[in-house]
């Protein structure tokens, strides 16, 4: 743990008049804002990092930050701490606004005790978290700390426990966003993991439970800090990070954008905006974007761009589980969560990671009153020994549970194929979708026609003089009888088959109708979702 703080407690104030006391207060406040000194600030900048106050200035609307407990100092003794009692105790807490709406924030100040958490430090965080929950406003943490303050022993560890308990109590009540801007090791990493979104900055932020030295001592593996827990690792491999950026300025700007898409709390709807993108805008290009041949890939992102306002959306977990897309966007100015198979990656199948990714996103949308739009083009679950042994049944059930448990407006659109259990899991009408639409290119079935024909007609194919010709004939017969575009609609499993060019208008008008939807779950303490 690095300690750059050299601030010594000032002498007791001398007797003076009221004006003198006010002047003294301003002098102390200047010292608080200045922090531990130019040398520590230069060292922070040399690492490619901003100071805690510089970060807060970028996050919040200009001039709106109101600090809480800036004069707090630790009261620990021993190990030299009594001679070093800097104001703020290494964490800046308070509130301000983002796009005019209240947001609470705490930011570790790495210049003071390396941002390490002690008793006073933790108490400040507990207080601001309690204030955010009580006020019903989002909480953003700017993390840049060296873990628990060793000199304070178990008191520091207990401080983390209080943070975790509040993270859990706030879950689904207010949006919680963790922004990683430095190291986050050991138990400290569990607070970001409990929040709704995790942002990371390349090269300067890392997260891990045990560091490279411990890993090498225990397993013999030699790895760098970034190789073990850097931004790219957590964005593409572990799935811990939802968003990553090259610099802190871009990162904080995107945090502001995300906040503009979220409600203040679970009792409010996300903020709506006016848009010049017409509701009735036709999406004729979708006819060319999506091939009728179910075996040909295409980029689902282009479909999303055509449907949403001005083609703008924020993709969540963009680099993890690329076979499914989760995104926040607006349609007619209202926020919607989009879950869509991505045919360009693994043909859009559902696997362990895709199921986890989509399940968490669906739960977040449901918690914060964001309607869910599901775009289906799914050939099924990914087959394989690794998937089965890895628990695809258990993980796939997470997505099923999330959809079945969601009470927000839910609309699904079958673009092309929707086969087997994956069709059911991807918000089919049978698990509670409010409206289900399909394009004329849709194929909804237990499995693909060739596989189905091989199972149903295997004896006839084997006995035929020309098995290949018999198979082709029977596949065609199966398609015409059970997989034609109107089969599901005839049985009420699809509400309508629509022209792809009218998709945007149909969805917007349907979402408007569902905006007043009210649905209650059975009375219970809580469910027991598959883990």
| Contact by Cβ (8 Å): 442, 418 | yes
Burial 26-62 (b: 16+ CB within 10 A, else e): eeeeebbeebbeeebbebbeeeebbbbbbbbbbbbee
Cβ-contact 84, 8 below 8 angstroms: yes
CB neighbours of residue 497 within 10 Å: 16
Measured CA to CA, the distance from residue 183 to residue 59 in angstroms comes to 20
Q: Helices 467-482 and 449-456: crossing angle, nearest 10°? A: 110
**Residue 340 near residue 372, CB atoms below 8 Å:** no
Asked if 117 and 160 count as a contact pair (C-beta separation under 8 A), the reply is yes
Q: Are 386 and 345 in contact (CB under 8 A)?
A: no
**Residue 141: which H helix or E strand, with range?**
strand 139-143
> Which sequence positions are flagged as catalytic?
186-187, 421-422
Distance CA 468, CA 452 (A): 15
Sign of CA dihedral 83, 85, 91, 92: negative
Task: Write the CA distances from 488 to 424, 475, 493, integer angstroms.
Answer: 13, 19, 5
């Amino acid at each position: 743990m690095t300690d750059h703080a050299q601030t010594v407690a000032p002498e007791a104030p001398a007797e003076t008049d009221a004006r003198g006391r006010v002047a003294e207060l301003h002098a102390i406040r200047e010292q608080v804002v200045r922090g531990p000194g130019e040398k520590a600030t230069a060292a922070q900048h040399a690492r490619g990092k901003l100071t805690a106050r510089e970060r807060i200035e970028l996050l919040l609307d200009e001039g709106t930050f109101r600090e809480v407990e800036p004069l707090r100092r630790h009261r620990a003794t021993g190990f030299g701490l009594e001679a070093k009692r800097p104001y703020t105790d290494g964490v800046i807490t308070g509130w301000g606004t983002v796009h005019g709406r209240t947001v609470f924030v705490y930011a570790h100040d790495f210049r003071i005790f390396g941002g390490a958490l002690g008793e006073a430090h933790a108490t400040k965080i507990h207080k601001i978290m309690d204030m955010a929950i009580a006020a019903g406003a989002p909480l953003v943490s700017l993390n840049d700390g060296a873990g628990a303050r060793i000199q304070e022993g178990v008191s520091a560890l207990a401080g983390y426990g209080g943070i975790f308990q509040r993270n859990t109590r706030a879950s689904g009540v207010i949006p919680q966003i963790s922004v990683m801007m430095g190291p986050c090791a050991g138990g400290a990493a569990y607070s970001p993991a409990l929040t709704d979104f995790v942002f990371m900055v390349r090269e300067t932020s890392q997260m891990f439970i045990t560091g490279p030295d411990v890993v090498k001592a225990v397993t013999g593996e030699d790895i760098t800090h970034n190789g073990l827990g850097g931004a790219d690792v957590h964005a593409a491999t572990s799935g811990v990070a939802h968003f990553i950026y090259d610099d802190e300025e871009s990162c904080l700007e995107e945090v502001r954008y995300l906040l503009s898409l979220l409600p203040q709390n679970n009792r409010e709807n996300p903020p709506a905006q006016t848009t010049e993108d017409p509701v009735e805008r036709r999406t004729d290009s979708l006819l060319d974007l999506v091939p009728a041949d179910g075996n040909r890939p295409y980029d689902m992102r282009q479909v999303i761009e055509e449907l949403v306002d001005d083609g703008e959306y924020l993709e969540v977990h963009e680099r993890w589980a690329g076979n499914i897309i989760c995104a926040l966007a607006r349609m007619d100015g209202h926020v919607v969560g989009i879950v869509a198979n991505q045919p360009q990656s693994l043909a859009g199948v559902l696997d362990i990671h895709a199921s986890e990714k989509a399940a968490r996103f669906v739960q977040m949308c449901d918690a914060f009153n964001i309607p869910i739009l599901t775009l289906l083009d799914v050939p099924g679950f990914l087959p394989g020994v690794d998937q089965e042994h890895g628990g695809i049944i258990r993980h796939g059930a997470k997505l099923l549970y999330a959809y079945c448990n969601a009470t927000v407006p839910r609309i699904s659109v079958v673009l092309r194929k929707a086969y087997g259990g994956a069709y059911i899991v991807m918000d089919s009408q049978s698990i509670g979708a409010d409206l289900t639409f399909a394009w004329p290119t849709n194929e909804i079935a237990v499995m693909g026609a060739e596989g189905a024909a091989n199972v149903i007609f295997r004896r006839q194919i084997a006995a035929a003089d020309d098995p290949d010709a018999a198979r082709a004939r029977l596949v065609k017969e199966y398609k015409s009888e059970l997989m034609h575009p109107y089969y599901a609609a005839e049985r009420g499993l699809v509400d309508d088959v629509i022209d792809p060019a009218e998709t945007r208008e149909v969805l917007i008008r349907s979402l408007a109708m569902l905006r007043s939807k009210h649905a209650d779950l059975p009375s219970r303490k809580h469910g027991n979702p598959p883990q």
